[in-house]
Structure 1
Amino acid sequence: MDLLPLLPFLACLFVVGFLYASVGHGGASGYLATMALFSIRPELMKSSALLLNVFVSFIAFIQYYRAGYFRGEKFWPFALASVPMAFVGARIPLSDSLYRKILAASLILVVIRLLWQLRGKETESKPIPLAWGLAAGAVIGLLSGMIGIGGGILLSPLMLLFHWAKVKETAASSSLFILVNSISGLIGLFSQGFRPEPQIYIWIMAGLLGGICGSYLGSHRLSASSLNYLLAVSVTLACLKLIFT
């Protein structure tokens, strides 16, 4: 396999894995944006993003768990409904046109999330109402399975907005949330006969290396707000590409 033509694409996967893992995310929305920029065919995008998500979110969760930020009560109300709905969402067939539109809308939410940074002193977190947790988990899980993301990029701002967790507690819960949703979505794809294409393995290595570096720094010392602004620009370009091409 000639890696030279792939280097720009692999470098982008590394950067996405690094940036997203630093805040406890698997990076699926970033991988999808990168694939859109490099004109990867839509039928390969969802499965590839979910596979990358599994490896990178697992690394991110381990780092945040070891740093002592994981709280089970901040995780299970969302995961209880999201996991089965991610399985259902992955089995919903979408046309290329509809897939691109839903993905573009989701990436716009990603841009908003990246530009909105929690500022000032953190307040004490509040308990998560069970009904709200189940409802949010179900909606995020369904969308996650449909377009091939883990849902953390949607869950994180919700948790911070309602003060359900502090920033690094949110990162820890989001990383595990992404992991279980991605696995559920992949099971849904495998049940329909999906088999990974050979090139995905080198893609996984690039994202995983970035995730290892980013999750370690993010769980211990890194503040990546300026990097998030740069990432927001690249995701915006991907949104425009999806909308106008």
Structure 2
Amino acid sequence: MDLILIISILLLTGIIAGFFAGLLGIGGGFLMVPVQYMILVSTGMDPTVAIRVAFGTSLAVVFPVSCAAAFAHHTRGGIDWGAAVPIGCAGLIGGFAGGTLASHLPADILKPLFGVMIIIAAIRMLTGTPVCRGEKDSCLFSWTLLGAIIGILSGLLGMGGGILLVPILLLFFNLPIHRAVGTSSACILFFSTGGILAYIVHGLRVADLGAGYLGYIDLLQWIILTGTMIPLSRLGVGAAHRLPAERLKRVFAGMMVIIGIVMIGILP
């Protein structure tokens, strides 16, 4: 694939993923991973290595993008730090564990299952009602367990984790949609950190990658996607706080269904 075409595809991907990262409180990996994977395979890279590079690079992009989105949400009072800290700390450890698993296991076995899970979560978010209505302090253990589980999935599949975290915060912790989106952005900072460390550590052992890579992180893709997504994520944050809560929930659920279908049927 021609370098100019690759750069153009990555720029377009960054624009779309960045806007939705800010709008929906997710990392943007839902779009970056399949695009990066297809580009890498088209250049002749082994599919197993390519999917790991796509996961690692996606998380490396997610971190600075989520920093920008979380700061924008924080300035609007949209983050519940009492929930974000325990979820995020557990998720950091989980992210490292997930990245380690992905470096040793055929991750594509889990992609269809993850796609089904996302679709079920989307349906549940549209039709369900909040479950945990008590004081938030009583949910501390649940927050920690939630962070560990989603952190593992984040590291394993190269996604920020917000695609699952936002509906869970809505349904089981009774957070309003705008606050759930903002809190998710803060948690993704922790999730992605653990995963990034794992993909760097284990990728450094792969001699075939050569120059232009930091472990399983493709530095060219990282520069292009990060530079595009950060300003677009701030636009997405502004749009999120202007949209009515129910409309934002429907947009989020629609994106989840699309992502689930992609994860089930498109990535080999």
Q: TM-score, normalised by structure 1?
A: 0.82
Candidates 167, 176, 194, aligned match of 2:177:
167
Whole-angstrom CA distance in 2 between matches of 1:169 and 1:104: 30
The 1:93–1:64 alpha-carbon spacing in structure 2 relative to 1, beyond 3 Å, is closer
Please, which of 135, 155, 168 is the counterpart of residue 165 of structure 2? Answer: 155
- The answer to whether the aligner puts 1:198 opposite 2:182 as a matched pair is no
Structure 1 residue matching 2:160: 3-state secondary structure: coil
Higher mean displacement: 99-108 or 154-163: 99-108
What's the RMSD between the two structures over aligned residues? 3.1
* Number of equivalences: 242
- Which TM-score applies when normalising by structure 2? 0.76
Q: Is 1:48 the counterpart of 2:50 in the alignment?
A: no
Q: Which has the higher helix share?
A: 2
2:265 aligned partner: 240
Higher relative contact order (CA 8 A, sep 6+): 1
Q: Describe the shift of the 1:159–1:226 C-alpha distance in structure 2 as closer, same or farther (beyond 3 A).
A: closer
Partner deviation per Cα, 1:107-140 (whole Å, 9 max, x = no partner): 3333444566558999996415122222221111
| Distance in 2 of aligned mates of 1:4 and 1:90 | 30
CA contact (8 A) 2:125 2:253 kept: no
Structure 1: runs of 5 or more not aligned: none
Question: Aligned in 2, Cα 1:227/1:144: closer, same or farther, shift over 3 Å?
Answer: closer
2:115 is matched by which residue type in structure 1?
A: L
Q: Percent identity?
A: 19
Q: Deviations over 1:130-156 (max 9, x none)?
A: 222222211111222222222222211
Question: What is the CA–CA distance in structure 2 between the aligned matches of 1:210 and 1:228, rounded to whole Å?
Answer: 21
Q: Which one of 99, 108, 120 corresponds to residue 107 of structure 2?
A: 99
Are 2:11 and 2:228, in contact at CA under 8 Å, matched by a contact in 1?
yes
8 Å CA contact 1:37, 1:238 repeated in 2: no
Task: Describe how 1:127-166 pairs up with structure 2 within 5 A.
Answer: 127=136, 129-166=139-176
In structure 2, the residue matched to 1:210 is 232
